Amino acid sequence: MPQEIITTTEMTEKRPSIVWGKDQNLLVWTGIDYVINISSSPMDTFNFKSSPTKFKTYKDPTLVMFPTGDSGYLFWTGTIKTDDGYQILYAEVKRDANGKLVLDDRSTELTSAISLDGIIAATLTTQNGQLVINLAWRNQHKHVCLTQVQPWKKVMSSWSQTQLDQKANAGPALATIGGRPIMVYFDDNKHLNIVLAPKNTINFDLHNKVIFKDISSNYAPSIVVQSVGIGYVFWVGASDAKLNYHQIGMDARGEVVMNTQVEGSGVIKDAIAVAAPSARMVARQTDGQHAALLQVVWTQSGSRYIKIAEFEPHYTALT
């Protein structure tokens, strides 16, 4: 698949992430000075500039925006190590009277949420008709932990946390496929695991997880799913640090399948990553035609510049 590669002017040693925010691209990253940055650029452009917040982290911040693109929440981990991990924090993001995105200058702890490595997976979904944010991370014992937070409350709170009987070497990442939460991570053997939960829950069924032993990484994967229930998994190869992808979907039995054919898999051209990637799907109008595009973001080895690849997915039949 033809790929357009964009090199930004910003640098990091961590995972950058790109999200949508009301006709803007929003890029979130940790600077070389450990300061969290949130920068915007008009849709279809990637002119991101250093936009430091007042918060620091040694790890990877995650931004979740609500459907309007006017507000959302930033999640990150603090700089003080506690109980062999880092406290998960959050702050509200919203637009001021001039339409500029502003991060609240107050941070709040997510109760009893300690992350081993600062990788926090977050995705927006619904629970009983209300918007909720699903969160997943590795605790100080490498176990995958999950919770749902309720952003409609004045003081955001979470339901009880769930610790899965599953250790992860890297990850996790979250998305929704066919209306069901889906989680991907690399287990203790560095094998890619994919697991589903019933609709409106985070009760992931580990007994029916799918393991791909030929896919391994030292970093967390990324997953993006189109509304039709077909998507892609991105990961950094354990042996060569190349940025790979495979198409995934659900078969007629409701089971996750991966397309490893040439048309549904590949590598991002010249991408050698030093941290986990992030990815998303965007819609674009070109010459009157509607097109879905994949965007994947990573930190390039050597230069440490944040790079973005954009390409049109090529879907093939899943068997």
Q: What digits encode the pLDDT tens for the residues 267-310?
A: 999 999 999 999 998 877 667 777 788 999 999 999 999 999 99
**pLDDT band at residue 319 using 50, 70 and 90 as cut-offs:** low
Percent of the chain with pLDDT over 90: 65
**DSSP label at 230?**
-
Q: Compute the average pLDDT of residues 116-143.
A: 89
Helices (H), the chain: none
> Residue 158 above 60 pLDDT?
no
Pairing relation of β-strands 62-65 and 278-286? unpaired
**DSSP label at 60?**
-
> Residue 222 above 70 pLDDT?
yes
pLDDT at residue 31 in the model: 97
Helix or strand (DSSP H, E) at 186: strand 180-187
CA nearest neighbour of 33 among 18, 7, 54: 54
Pick one of 3.40.190.10, 2.120.10.10, 2.102.10.10, 2.40.30.10 as the CATH number of 4-311. 2.120.10.10
Q: Compute the average pLDDT of residues 261-265.
A: 74
HSE at residue 113, side-chain half, CA atoms within 13 A, is: 29
pLDDT at residue 282 in the model: 87
Give exposure, 181-196, as e/b (b: 16+ Cβ within 10 Å): bbbbbbbeeebbbbbb
**Which residue carries 């090529």 as its tokens?**
314
Write the CA distances from 14 to 119, 122, 233, integer angstroms.
Answer: 10, 17, 19
CA nearest neighbour of 64 among 134, 114, 162, 130: 134
Percent of the chain with pLDDT over 70: 93
Average pLDDT of the residues of the chain: 89
Q: Compute the average pLDDT of residues 10-37.
A: 95
Predicted confidence (pLDDT) per residue in 43-77, tens digit = 889 999 999 999 999 999 999 999 888 999 999 99
> Residue 40 above 90 pLDDT?
yes
Predicted confidence (pLDDT) per residue in 167-212, tens digit = 999 879 999 988 889 999 999 999 999 999 998 889 999 999 999 9
**pLDDT band at residue 258 using 50, 70 and 90 as cut-offs:** confident
